[in-house]
Amino acid sequence: MLIIAIVLLLLLILLARRMADYRADRRVTEHLISTQPELPDVFHPDMVASLPEPARRYFLYTIAPDTPLYPVVDFTMTGKFALGTRQQPNYFAMRARQVLSVPQGFIWSMRASRGWMRVSGSDSHRWTRFWLMGLIPVARMGGDTDHQRSAFGRYIAEGVFWSPAALLPGPDVHWEPVDQNCARVTLTHGTLSQSVDITVAENGQPTQVCFLRWSNANPEKVYRLQPFGGKLSAFKTFAGFCLPTHVEAGNHFGSDDYFPFFIADIEQFHFPLPFKRGASGDASSPHSPSHTTSGEL
């Protein structure tokens, strides 16, 4: 009986911790959405006229004139997520939702499976928390400068994919040319700074993104700057933004060690408006500009 009681107590503790993670996910999601401007400026080509030519082409391709410049995006995806190596990727089929608010942060909530194995959890600018079978914690990290710096690199690069409005020139966003088809954007937020190189086609469509990411994804498990990048394709229009719906990305981009551990296809995409508090005190969001390609998370 004592053993049964101990097992039940352990299960209750793990369940309580899992529920606490869900609540934390919701709080971060609501905070990120609250940073969306209710009445944003609209895009005009004059805003990017002085930028390097590849950067100007990038914006003219990704944002149509008179588009409201919503920087916060909320989208769902399906795809594959590898938990292995280049030699043995061990891809899991995954479904996920992401809310991205550059430069404030992001949250990526996912469920993945491979055979009988089930992994779920969330990755954000504050933490990485994943669970096996919904009850066994297999990764819990964050709350330190290494995680913060690594996460910042990830979501600034993803801003290039999915939130070009957040990268328009301003006091904390600097653009410079690399060559005739590549430009570098550097975004600063507090003590953090990240540069990302964007390669574009002649028509301005971004084809790949690469940068030096602060990461410990190496055999020594030591944090250092190393190449990370992704390839973009299957562009579709969402409320005036032309964005990739297929992304493949991974560590050691451009080297023999590269393999895409993250392969995603966007299902639904919208620009949420800030949460409002109703009479009951519950958070709700009004109608948001959106586009659905297929499916539900």
Q: Decide if 16 is inside a domain.
A: yes
N-to-C CA span, the chain = 41
Contacts of 191 (CB under 8 A, 6+ apart): none
**pLDDT over 90 (residue 287):** no
Q: Decide if 194 is inside a domain.
A: yes
Q: What is the pLDDT of residue 187?
A: 98
* pTM of the shown model: 0.89
Phi, psi of 273 (to 5 degrees): -90, 160
**pLDDT over 80 (residue 44):** yes
The domain total for the chain is: 1
Q: Decide if 239 is inside a domain.
A: yes
Contacts of 215 (CB under 8 A, 6+ apart): 150, 153, 223, 224, 225, 226, 228, 251
Q: What is the mean pLDDT of residues 227-254?
A: 97
109, 21 in Cβ contact below 8 A? no
Q: Decide if 112 is inside a domain.
A: yes
Range of the domain at 89: 2-34+53-272+280-292
pLDDT, tens digit (0-9, with 9 covering 90-100), for 96-151:
999 999 999 999 999 999 999 999 999 999 999 998 988 888 888 888 999 999 99
Q: Decide if 297 is inside a domain.
A: no
Bridge partners (DSSP) of residue 156 are none
Q: Decide if 113 is inside a domain.
A: yes
CATH of the domain at 146: 2.50.20
Contacts of 91 (CB under 8 A, 6+ apart): 80, 81, 82, 84, 114, 263
Q: Decide if 45 is inside a domain.
A: no
